[in-house]
Amino acid sequence: MAGADVTPDSGPPEGAAVSVHRHAVPFYETDAMGIVHHSNHVRYLELGRIAWLQEHDQPYEKYVENGLHLATTKIEVDYHRPVRFADVVEIVVWAEEIRHASLRMGYVLRVGDEVIATGSSDHAAVDDDGKVRRLPKERRNLLRERLGASPA
């Protein structure tokens, strides 16, 4: 399920490993109209993704210690309604696809029961020099288990 296919009533597929991260909107994230600036939604996706890795894989710092980074290659965000100062954004995140050297994450952002945004992000595994590298097989297999795919 790609981020663009996520509707306000949908979310992660059944059986997917899901993390939920909550973020209270500080005043500095808002614009002159008192609405969260759209660029902050990309930050929210990152907060959720890092929480998901911590909970279902390993802390991102472990990737970095091993000379591996997950460079963002694509971000899609569909905005459904504005977010304001002091709203608590619930960031629901799951892995949609794990490939040899990349992964795709899916997101639904809510305030209360209302979906405020949906999206996805693609990431390439790269080394310290920015060269694409395969995810280690054990890491890749573990991540695939989180979305129900069979190890390769």
What digits encode the pLDDT tens for the residues 61-100? 999 999 999 999 999 999 999 999 999 999 999 999 999 9
Mean pLDDT score across all residues of the chain: 91
More confident residue, 123 or 4: 123
Q: What tokens were used for 111?
A: 């305030």
Q: Is residue 8 part of a domain?
A: no
Q: Is residue 11 assigned to a domain?
A: no
β-bridge pairing 102-111 and 68-79: unpaired
Token pair belonging to 102 = 């990349």
Q: Per residue in 25-63, pLDDT tens?
A: 999 999 999 999 999 999 999 999 999 999 999 999 999
Is residue 114 included in any domain, yes or no?
A: yes
Q: What is the pLDDT of residue 20?
A: 97
Note whether residue 10 is domain-resident.
no
Whole-angstrom Cα distance, residue 120 to residue 46? Answer: 11
What percent of the chain shows pLDDT beyond 90? 86
The count of structural domains within the chain is 1
Q: Is residue 6 part of a domain?
A: no
- 138 domain residue, yes or no: yes
Report the predicted TM-score, pTM, of the whole model to 2 decimal places: 0.89
Go through 26-52 and write b for each residue having 16 or more CB atoms within 10 A of its CB, e for each that does not: eeebbeeeebbeeebbeebbbebbbbb
Indicate the pLDDT class of residue 14, thresholds 50, 70 and 90: confident
The pLDDT value recorded for residue 148 is 62
Residue 66's CATH number:
3.10.129.10
Mean pLDDT in residue range 11-20: 91
Residue 45 forms part of a structural domain: yes
Q: Could you tell me if residue 9 is inside a domain?
A: no
Residue range(s) defining the domain that contains residue 142 = 17-147
